[in-house]
Amino acid sequence: EVSVVESGGGSVQAGQSLSVACTASGFRFGDSDMAWWRQAPGSECELVSTINADGSTYYADSVKGRFTISRDNDKNTVSLQMNRVTPEDAAMYYCAADATRPTSPRKSGPCRGWGVLKFGYWGQGTQVTVSS
């Protein structure tokens, strides 16, 4: 069964750093594209960053230069290092997988829209709170 579990959220002051991580199983992690999405209260979901199976990355303009995504295929983890956070970074952060050879049916998350459809497996989210 596919499992996607986030960890590492919490409270941080503006200007500081925080890292969130995602551990996944039940699919061929090394052959799968992974992503971090976020959703602030009352807002639409935002694609924060992706890291493909080939290691290529994407960052939203809002986080470019501050956030770094990485993956460890030996540990089936993907991490998001967030530096110089701002109050606008406060949100629920979701890890999502475009899973290759999944062992269970799709498990959707809270986000909707065309860009979301690629990612069939979502975690429960981890909360990031930023105080100014």
- List, for residues 89-110, the tens digit of each pLDDT value: 999 999 999 999 999 999 888 9
- List, for residues 9-24, the tens digit of each pLDDT value: 999 999 999 999 999 9
With cut-offs at 50, 70 and 90, classify the pLDDT of residue 29: very high
Return the SS3 of 130.
strand
Mean pLDDT of 49-64: 98
Query: Please, what is the Cα angle at 90 between 84 and 96, to 5 degrees?
Result: 100
Token couple for 31: 């052959």
DSSP 66-117: TEEEEEETTTTEEEEEE-S--GGG-EEEEEEEE-SS-SS--B--S--SGGGT
b/e 39-58 (16+ beta carbons within 10 angstroms → b): beeeeebbbbbbbebeeeee
Return the SS3 of 18.
strand
pLDDT at 113: 83
Q: Does 79 have pLDDT greater than 90?
A: yes
The count of other CB atoms within 10 Å of the CB of residue 113 is: 9
CA 8 to chain centre: 12
